[in-house]
Amino acid sequence: MQNVEKLRGFLNYQRNPEPYRPPLERLQDWEEINPVPDRDVDVAHTALELKVQAARCMDCGTPFCQTYSGCPVNNLIPEWNNLVYQDHWDEAIENLHSTNNFPEFTGRVCPAPCEGSCVAGLVDDPVTIKNIEYSIVDRAFRDGKITARIPEDRSGMTVAVVGSGPAGLATADQLNQMGHKVTVFERADRVGGLLMYGIPNMKLEKETVDRRVNLLREEGIEFVTNADIGKNVDVNELKADFDALCLTLGSTKPRDLPVPGRDLKGVHFAMEFLTANQKKLLMTKEGKLESQWEEDNWITAEGKDVIVIGGGDTGTDCIGTSMRHRCNSVTNFELMPQPPMERASDNPWPEWPRVFGIDYGHAEVRAATGKDPRVYSVMTKELTGDADGNVIALITQDVEMTSTGPKVIEGSEREWPADLVVLSMGFLSPEAYVTEELGLDVDQRNNIQAVYGDFRTSVEGVFAGGDCRRGQSLVVWAINEGRGTADACDQYLQQKRFDEVDSTQITGAFANLSSLSPNI
């Protein structure tokens, strides 16, 4: 067998990303679309193929893949690519963990902007960075190389982290390793935020989330669920009980659709649809599903004509979920026109390539029906219902994008049958009840006001990071912000601890002055 060459690997070897499991096969279950090495041997990459793909990394003098245009957590991508090429897998996971708390999450759900800014991709196909990333962390877990890191020293300072999504978990992980006592409060019944309930099973198995959470718990982090701060837990008491408070609330207020018929039955926000489905899967697996739960709480697409309004990752997740429910049809409306097949002149490398792509949900619809579910340049005009108040159809108008926004094309109305309409048009801001109770300043978009890199809010001892500060974004940006929030909070705690110690020393030095003679 010929040796794998690294020096000219980007010239000698073709990009070969690890494929997902076949669409028609994965539609039969809720398991991850990524192949499992020991089970899906016909599609999963071998160690040799990973070595070949890692050899394509060019060891660039300026690796744009790990800059902010590529990787928000600044993963040392050329370094761990080279370690994989050299079969130094133990060192590769150490290198990967040095910048990324949860590569098993980003390796699965991140859209890989690093590959969009790969220097090899400027003139050829980019390196399969995402595949190599989750291969490193998955192998490390399988080999028992990822174990609890229990801090040896404790600072005596306490921190409350509100929200257990990727930003909250990253904040908690960093602060715990710095020696502080961290308690994470989550309003849902399970830890993980969008990792648990927002991202469906087929993209991220919940055992993967629980595995990391259990590791964090073993390392000393305390998790409190069903704690809705600002509602069933007083946020001011929380602030008083802890030395610092970190808000990682996410951006959970969805963008609505203000059209006639919005209040009809069968119209739901994407997170209502996805969360109810995920809860049912978990309860069924654990044998806890009550007889009336499906009727009262589950939103099913079975046998229905489904329309998903809005693209993006969440829209794709709604498509994939509807297909697994055995819907009658699924259509995806997007306001913007279809992206070009190649980069446009105003979208140069190393920016994220805004080009036409086929995500897993689109591929599944194509495989099952023979057509793509997406309809571009359309805007919803109204929803119509039956006598019982159920949605039965949706009327759209075609639009063209202008410098001032979408312009309706007269006479372009179309009617679409719809038994279930899912609104997946993004998120506006965090819900206001926590920020209002604390009296925090917010920006023009109602996100918590805190400067990036500083992360301090307008209230002393309160920090904010993740989507609640920057607006909806990627999981990898949430981890970046969580790490930054932890650094800022740690600086504050160190100063607070120093001030308290200094104050005690001063008080002790002058404690006996009152007993001295006034003549002295």
Q: Which residues contact 35 (CB under 8 A, 6 or more apart)?
A: 18, 19, 20, 21, 43, 44
DSSP code at position 75: -
Tokens 């009809």, located at residue:
264
Give CA–CA dist 273/421, Å, rounded: 10
Residue ending a domain, among 143, 178, 209, is 143
Instruction: Answer yes or no: is 25 within a domain.
Output: yes
pLDDT at 506: 56
pLDDT at 292: 81
228 plus 354 within the same structural domain: no
Instruction: Answer yes or no: is 67 within a domain.
Output: yes
Instruction: Answer yes or no: is 4 within a domain.
Output: no
Q: Model confidence over 268-284: pLDDT tens digits?
A: 999 999 999 999 999 99
81 plus 53 within the same structural domain: yes
114 plus 219 within the same structural domain: no
370's tokens? 């023979």
Instruction: Answer yes or no: is 2 within a domain.
Output: no
**Closest to 195 in 3D by CA, of 109, 118, 75, 322:** 109
110 plus 193 within the same structural domain: no
391 plus 452 within the same structural domain: no
Calculate ∠ Cα 448-100-69, nearest 5°. Answer: 70
Q: Model confidence over 5-17: pLDDT tens digits?
A: 898 999 999 999 9
Calculate ∠ Cα 58-98-456, nearest 5°. Answer: 120
Instruction: Answer yes or no: is 447 within a domain.
Output: yes
324 plus 358 within the same structural domain: yes
Instruction: Answer yes or no: is 390 within a domain.
Output: yes
pLDDT at 499: 83
21's tokens? 């499991």
354's tokens? 């805004």
CATH code at 132? 1.10.1060.10
Instruction: Answer yes or no: is 290 within a domain.
Output: no
What is the residue type of 506? I
435 plus 408 within the same structural domain: no
Give CA–CA dist 430/467, Å, rounded: 8
Spatial contact of 150 and 218, defined as CB atoms under 8 Å apart: yes
How many domains, in total, are found in the chain? 3
Residue ending a domain, among 83, 117, 143, is 143
pLDDT at 505: 64
407 plus 459 within the same structural domain: no
Spatial contact of 357 and 399, defined as CB atoms under 8 Å apart: no
pLDDT at 502: 66
Which residues in the chain come in under a pLDDT of 50? 509-510, 513-520
User: Under DSSP, is residue 247 helix (H, G, I), strand (E, B) or coil?
Assistant: strand
**Closest to 82 in 3D by CA, of 134, 132, 34:** 132
**Closest to 274 in 3D by CA, of 200, 190, 327:** 200
200 plus 308 within the same structural domain: no
> Can you spell out the DSSP letters for 277-342?
HHHHHHHHHHT---TTHHHHH----TT-EEEEE--HHHHHHHHHHHHHTT-SEEEEEESSPPPPSS
User: Under DSSP, is residue 399 helix (H, G, I), strand (E, B) or coil?
Assistant: strand
Give CA–CA dist 482/186, Å, rounded: 16
User: Under DSSP, is residue 125 helix (H, G, I), strand (E, B) or coil?
Assistant: coil
Residue ending a domain, among 143, 168, 184, is 143
Q: Model confidence over 405-449: pLDDT tens digits?
A: 899 999 999 999 999 999 999 999 999 999 999 999 999 999 999
DSSP code at position 13: S
54 plus 123 within the same structural domain: yes
CATH code at 436? 3.50.50.60
245 plus 312 within the same structural domain: no
pLDDT at 1: 54
Spatial contact of 166 and 475, defined as CB atoms under 8 Å apart: yes
Give CA–CA dist 102/15, Å, rounded: 25
Q: Which structural domain range is residue 277 located in?
A: 256-284+297-339+348-425
pLDDT at 514: 47
**Closest to 317 in 3D by CA, of 19, 30, 106:** 30
18 plus 120 within the same structural domain: yes
Cα dist. 56→12, 118, 126 in Å? 8, 11, 8
Backbone angles phi, psi at 109, to 5 degrees: -110, -10
* Other Cβ atoms within 10 Å of 473 Cβ, number: 17
